[in-house]
Structure 1
Amino acid sequence: MSRQGKLVIFSAPSGAGKTTIVRHLLSKRPDLEFSISATTRQPRGEEKDGVDYYFISKEEFLHRIAKKQFVEFEEVYSGTFYGTLRSEIQRIWDQGKDVIFDIDVEGGLHLKRKYEEHALAIFVQPPSLLVLIERLTGRGTDSPEKLEERFAKARKELDYAPQFDIILNNYELETACKEAELLVDDFLKR
């Protein structure tokens, strides 16, 4: 019989610090395992298939949607899909671990609705939209057009914050990481 574990979901607009917080938690908690998302986009920088993402073709992604292999998915940017494979969650639960997600806002809410009390959905709130724009621009990984697309998406995503279980303010990273540790610890003890 398959084990039903818990899900810890971190969502935020791109640049809010959710990836850094998730990496911090993974370094502190061996009982958590990162859920690797599938995507149709190309790898960036040093990203590796099966580590950062499962990089698959758009055709393969659509085929898997048709076979209902995704717990959640969406076309995040025009022509670029992201999603969570059912098999990925089960793989982690079968190891006796709980799943931690670094996922976009709509994907996070889909997971929360699907798993309800088995999931803790945390929205990472950046200090301001201006700080978010500075962080995204400072990365130097996106074209001006892609940055505009990210800014527009971020504005929209900030409105979703109240739908999450908890809003974690990331005004100062070290404090946010400590708060995240306490929140996750409390949830996993329940």
Structure 2
Amino acid sequence: MSQPDTRRGLLIILSSPSGAGKSTLAKRLMAWDQTLSFSVSATTRRPRPGEVDGSDYHFLSESAFKSMVRNGEMLEHAHVFGNFYGSPMGPVKAAIDRGCDVLFDIDWQGAQQIKTSALRDHVLSIFVLPPSIAELRRRLVSRGQDAPETIRKRMQKSWDEISHWDGYDYILVNDDLDATFEQLKTIVSAERLRQPQQPGLVGFVRGLQSEFEEDEQ
């Protein structure tokens, strides 16, 4: 009797303060398993030059966005700088039903909304911590992307983000990128084997039970 080869996908949430290495880990994870995809967010802001609807964002009118929220069609949503942002449930549910994992790069507020959504049984949440605040500041400065005032604001925001570390399933301290990535792969591989992720197990176990019954006859 063959083992079940079907599985349900995971909603993989990666959160961290800016500079902790989350984006690099996400890129490595997607290169490791190319069936994994990023969740495409919906937004009410206007498209920027070069942005493609359905690829960069799902661009919606405010009325359409609010209608999806009312109808329970958003896994999470927030109002940021005058615009709405959110994660549509439909594409995510379709992906995990096909057995494909979906990666979310969101903050702790979005993570909590998804963990209490209709798809909560399939959520894997991971928070990435820096090895120290001094190292976090060094990484932000060394990127050379932000002005000193922006770095100061990012550091201030980091404290609030770190304070919510205990709302996640797993915590990774990213003091060595390669080692942290190996830990991340181990977590994802193990979580894929959780009972809710293997719908084929029910039929498989029933088959085993039938074999027992046949042997007893």
TM-score, scaled to structure 1: 0.78
Q: What residue number does 1:111 align with?
A: 114
Pairwise CA distance, 1:126: 1.5
Which residue of the partner structure matches residue 159 of structure 2? 155
Matched letter for residue 87 of structure 1: G
The 8 Å contact of residues 109 and 121 in structure 1, kept in 2 or not, is answered as no
- Tell me if the contact between 1:13 and 1:105 (Cα under 8 Å) persists in the aligned partners: no
- Runs of at least 5 residues in structure 2 that lack an aligned partner in the other structure: 1-6, 195-217
Question: Would the aligned equivalents of 1:129 and 1:155 in 2 still touch at CA under 8 Å?
Answer: no
Alignment partners' CA distance in 1, 2:32 and 2:193: 15
- Structure 1: distance between partners of 2:165 and 2:96: 28
In the alignment, what sits opposite 1:183?
A: 187
Residue in 2 that maps onto 1:174: 178
Q: 1:181 to 1:56 in 2, by over 3 A?
A: same
How many Å separate the matches in 1 of 2:50 and 2:144?
14
Q: Whose strand proportion is higher, 1 or 2?
A: 1
Which residue in the other structure is 2:15 paired with?
11
Supply the distance in 1 between the matched residues of 2:95 and 2:33 (Cα, whole angstroms). 14
Cα deviation, residue 170, structure 1: 0.9
Q: Deviations over 1:55-91 (max 9, x none)?
A: 556565445434443111123x432543211123123
Taking the aligned partners of 2:84 and 2:141, their CA distance within structure 1 comes to: 23
Which residue identity lines up with residue 26 of structure 1 in the other structure? Answer: M
1:88 maps to 2:98: no
Identity %: 39
C-alpha distance 137-66 of structure 1, shift in aligned 2 (>3 A): farther
Q: Tell me, in whole angstroms, the C-alpha distance in 1 between the residues paired with 2:15 and 2:174.
A: 12
Q: Structure 1: how far apart are the matches of 2:67 and 2:95?
A: 23
Which residue number corresponds to residue 26 of structure 1?
A: 30
The aligned runs of 1:105-144 (5 Å cut-off) are 105-114=108-117, 115-142=119-146
One of 96, 101, 121 as aligned partner of 1:98: 101
**Count of residue pairs brought into register by the alignment:** 187
CA contact (8 A) 1:40 1:58 kept: yes
How many angstroms does 1:50 deviate by?
3.5
Displacement of 1:183 in angstroms is 0.6
Residue 127 of structure 1, CA deviation: 2.0
Is the 2:9–2:192 Cα contact (8 Å) retained in structure 1?
no
Based on CA coordinates, which of the two structures has the bigger radius of gyration?
2
| Residue type of the alignment partner of 1:98 | D
